[in-house]
Structures are given as C-alpha cells and as structure tokens.
Structure 1
C-alpha cells in the first residue's frame, strides 16, 4: 500500500508541475525548449599470456563493454533528466575450474523532474532502478586430501536483487556541477524473483518484495576538473523511518580521462553498505560488511553530445 501511495504521489507531482511548466512556457515564446543528449559506448580488452614463466602467474584475457546516456531538457521553470548506466565484463582464467568469471555487471536506469523555486533551490521528484544482467557467483578454493578444489556458489541473478527508489524532496544547487537533495518522502523497494536469495538481501523467507518508507539524502558532483579529465561522484543515503539509526549507503566514484577522440581511460569505485544484506567476509565469517569494488578500464570509446530543438 505504501508503494502504491508513493508511486501515485510521485506521478501526480510530475504531472502537476509539468502542466504548470508547460502553461508558463506557452506564454513565453522566447524560452528555448531543448533536449541535450550526451553519452558513450565503450569496449575494452586485455590479455596476459605466460609460457614457462619462472615468476609464476596465470594466463588470462578479459573483455567488457559500457554504455552511458544522459538526456536533459531545461526551461526557465523546470529541468527534466533521464539517464542510463550499463556495464558488463568477463575474464577467462585458463587454469581455473570455472574459467569464465564475471567482473562487472550493472543495469542502472533513472529519471528526475525538478521545478525551480529560484536559481539554487528546486523541488525534485526522482526515480531510479538498479539490478544486473547476469547471474553472480562466489568462488572458493578448498584443500581436500592435499588437492585444491575450486567451488562455485550462485549468490545473485537478474532481478535478484533489484532496487527501485522513488523520492520527492528539495534540491540545492550552489553550482551547475554540484547538488544536494534531501527527500523526506522516499520509498525503497527491493525485488528478489528467486526466493533462494530472499534472506540474503533482507527479505523474509519466501518473500519476493519489500517496501520501505523513509528519508533519502543524495549528493552529486560532475565536472571536468582539468582538460579531458572528468570527476563524477554520487553519494546516496537512505534510512527507514522506523530505523533511523541504520543507513543504507551507495557511493559511486568515477575519474574519466579522455586520451583522444576514440581512446579513453577511466577508474571507478563503488562502495555499498546495507545492514540487511549478509555477505561472506574475507575472514571467513558471514554478516554485515562494507562492500567495495574498483575497476580500471582502457579501451575504445565513442562519445556523442547533441542538442535538438
């Protein structure tokens, strides 16, 4: 029920403010109505080959792809944004029992509508969806009778888990590249299509859906700090009203360096802390923990940026 109410509230807000903005725009023929588009498609590949190598190691090759897109429409009264962030990568290790392993996998979609109160403050309705394309596995190596055996255990899949967040709040933008949004009306929904993973991601046994109402705080920075080097980071926090002492954190960080028109290098990190998610820690125990991932990619990238009337 809370999910339905929140969804209807967000939709009503977007429709109402959109209609107000359109009415005001129709009386101001001098206001340009533009959609600005930007994005990139990238592919990367690496290979390590070892033959009679005294220093040890393992032959491997890896490849991956990324796709990002952002569309922005701004008028005197409102800003509308839509965006996607997709990535997938694999590595092949020739001497492994399970040679092909996933290294990157994300499917992020989002949109937001902001009504301008003045130059720095906006009322914002936003939604974002996160999941992954493929199954995820955890690998362990155990020694049995002097023989090392690698095991594979599935821990995730497409829509297991998936997260949908709907927020209404106030955004402060002191600079074009900097924002802070406080959303006292926020819904976080967790989907797990396979009940095998229900308890792992904070749901009750055999439960496939969880709805949480609370408060959301989001900070963002996106700027070319030096020529051809862009720093982008988003820090997101959510707490359920009944558990304000426990915050769910998701922090994305990216440094993108453009070598030339078609070559690019980027370094990205992602930090997640969710008190409801159990993970197998490095020390062999199971429980709450900070999840961290980093990746360095060098490859061929096609970038585009357009604006249409």
Structure 2
C-alpha cells in the first residue's frame, strides 16, 4: 500500500495537466474542500452561499423471468452539498458540508446501505501572496447510521456507527489557489483525532480496547480539482493524504473522491461517483479480517441534479 497513494496522486494530477483550457479555468467548483470564486463575479457581497442537490433512483421488477434474479430491487442515492464563504480584503473564510446517503433493497437480501458519509470543512485564510493564503483548516468526517459488513447472504457484522469512527483534523498550513478550478493545501504539522464512540469497535480502528479516541500528529495535503471534460460532462475530484509521524509514517492514509456528471436536461443527469479510502489503522480486511486494505466504492445513477 506504500506505493498506492503515490500512484493515485500521479493519476489525479495527470488529469489536471491535460485539462487546462479557458473553459476549465472559469468553471465554478461548488463542492469540495475549496469553494471556488468565479473571477467574473463582481458582486460586493461579503457572504455568498449555494449548494447542490442530487437524487438518483433505480428500480427493477421480475416475474416468470427465465434468466433468474430478484423479483424486486430498488436503489436510492442522495447527495447534498451546502457552502457559505466570506471574503473581505485579504481575509477569507470557506465553509462546506457534503452529505451522502444511499439504500439498496432487494427481495432476497432486504434493505442495506450502500453509502453513508458526511464531510464538514471550515477554512480561514489570510492572503500573503497573489495565489497563496496562510490558512487554518478544520475538517470532520463520519457517518450517520449503523453500518454492517455482509460476509454472506445470512450474516451481518456490525462495524461502524455515528462517530464510530469519526476523523477530526486541525491543520495550520498554506493554501495554493492559482485558478478557480484548482487548490492545494499543504501542512507539515497537522493534528488528527480518531474518535470511536462505541468502545466495542475500538480495536478495529486502531485504538486500544475500551478507548474512545487516539491522537495522531503528521503531515497533511489536500488537492481539489474540477474540469469540463466536454460540453455536457463535468468532473470534480479531491485527494487527501495524511502521514502519521508517530506510527508507520511511510503508510500514507488516503481519501479520494471522483464525481462525473453528464447533463441530460436542465435538471436531469447521469452521475458516476468513484471513491477510494486507505487507512492504515482500520483493521477490517484481509484473509482474517484484521488488517488494513484499500476501500473502493463506485455508484452510477440517473436522476435529479439541482443547483441551489
């Protein structure tokens, strides 16, 4: 896993290098860890707000179907983004929240989650150069409801819950923002807490039995990018990397999201979400279910996409 973050980083920035045209440079990033300001926007408002709402639905029904399959299946996925940013003089304060939730229901397996995440960011900065801010960053990631692993159709294993785990990050650093569609935050001194509010889950998230939190100190980088890939297809992605100085710093934790949207009409679109997570402290995977591993998620759907 030591080489995987470097590979993901190369792939991420390869896309960046090949998409720098005038259309891309004026694209407004509406979600993610940096909220882009349109350079053509001459509004004098100190506070600006907005967001995105996405709702995707897929359903299937079978009756006397020779090829086989579940009699009924239903998939629902939602995404909500809300942001507010402040700008006055050299001071800026960006606030952003992303909420994901999804369910799948089939006749044979019942109802199961296929997505459950929230990501809250607050970032305050003072301009020190044309493209550089001296910045303080706060980030909180967790989920809302209980999560289970399903080794087979008849077994489910409880492995997560609200604030079990949660990742709280405080980071002073430098924010490089050369264009409206790209930003890079760098910090060599970042404090991170892993919180596990349910002590029955402590050991699988790198804590000692019975403990509810662990403190980590390390280096942190966060890159955010958006692009117009064609007249109807857009892309937004982010990559977070964290190296824990206190334990195996060479095993870099990774959190990467990629979202593609293809417009069908004014409010209808096809969306594809691809996410990767690697956390060296999460002991849920491997042959014996007690080692870290690369987490992968892919969701494809058709539905509403509304800008607020």
Which TM-score band (shorter chain)? 0.7 to 0.9
> Which residue, 44, 47, 53 being the options, matches 2:56?
44
TM-score by length of 1: 0.80
1:92 maps to which residue? 105
Distance 1:84 1:211 in 2: 24
Structure 1 residue 67 and structure 2 residue 80: aligned?
Answer: yes
The CA deviation at 1:246 is 2.2
Query: Which one is further off, 232-241 or 254-263?
Result: 254-263
2:145 maps to which residue? 134
> Which residue, 113, 128, 136 being the options, matches 2:124?
113
Distance 2:118 2:100 in 1: 7
Highest Rg: 1 or 2?
1
More strand by share: 1
- Provide the secondary structure at the position in 2 that maps to 1:190: strand
- Provide the secondary structure at the position in 1 that maps to 2:303: strand
- Provide the secondary structure at the position in 2 that maps to 1:170: strand
- Provide the secondary structure at the position in 2 that maps to 1:271: strand
276 and 232 in structure 1: CA distance in 2 versus 1, 3 angstrom threshold: same
Distance 2:245 2:160 in 1: 28
Distance 1:289 1:260 in 2: 39
Aligned 8 A contact 1:195 1:205 in 2: yes
Distance 2:246 2:48 in 1: 41
> Which residue, 79, 95, 98 being the options, matches 1:82?
95
1:172-211 matches, within 5 Å, as 172-211=176-215
Aligned 8 A contact 1:31 1:75 in 2: no
Aligned 8 A contact 1:32 1:75 in 2: no
- Provide the secondary structure at the position in 1 that maps to 2:246: helix
1:303 maps to which residue? 307
Offset from partner CA, 1:18-72 (integer Å, 9 cap, x none)? xxxxxxxxxxxx9934322221222222111111211122131122322111222
Distance 2:300 2:192 in 1: 30
Aligned 8 A contact 1:219 1:236 in 2: yes
Distance 1:101 1:53 in 2: 24
Offset from partner CA, 1:270-309 (integer Å, 9 cap, x none)? 111111111234x6654121111111121123312xxxxx
1:19 maps to which residue? none
Distance 1:241 1:285 in 2: 26
1:215 maps to which residue? 219
Structure 1 residue 267 and structure 2 residue 272: aligned?
Answer: yes
- Provide the secondary structure at the position in 2 that maps to 1:278: coil
Aligned 8 A contact 1:31 1:76 in 2: no
2:5 maps to which residue? none
The CA deviation at 1:153 is 1.1
- Provide the secondary structure at the position in 1 that maps to 2:200: helix
Offset from partner CA, 1:144-185 (integer Å, 9 cap, x none)? xxxxx6111111111111111111101222222112211122
34 and 112 in structure 1: CA distance in 2 versus 1, 3 angstrom threshold: same
Query: Which one is further off, 80-89 or 234-243?
Result: 234-243
1:103 maps to which residue? 114
Distance 1:246 1:62 in 2: 35
Aligned 8 A contact 2:185 2:223 in 1: yes
> Which residue, 277, 283, 287 being the options, matches 2:282?
277
1:252 maps to which residue? 257
| Total equivalences in the alignment | 265
Structure 1 residue 242 and structure 2 residue 246: aligned?
Answer: yes
Distance 1:129 1:258 in 2: 31
- Provide the secondary structure at the position in 1 that maps to 2:305: strand
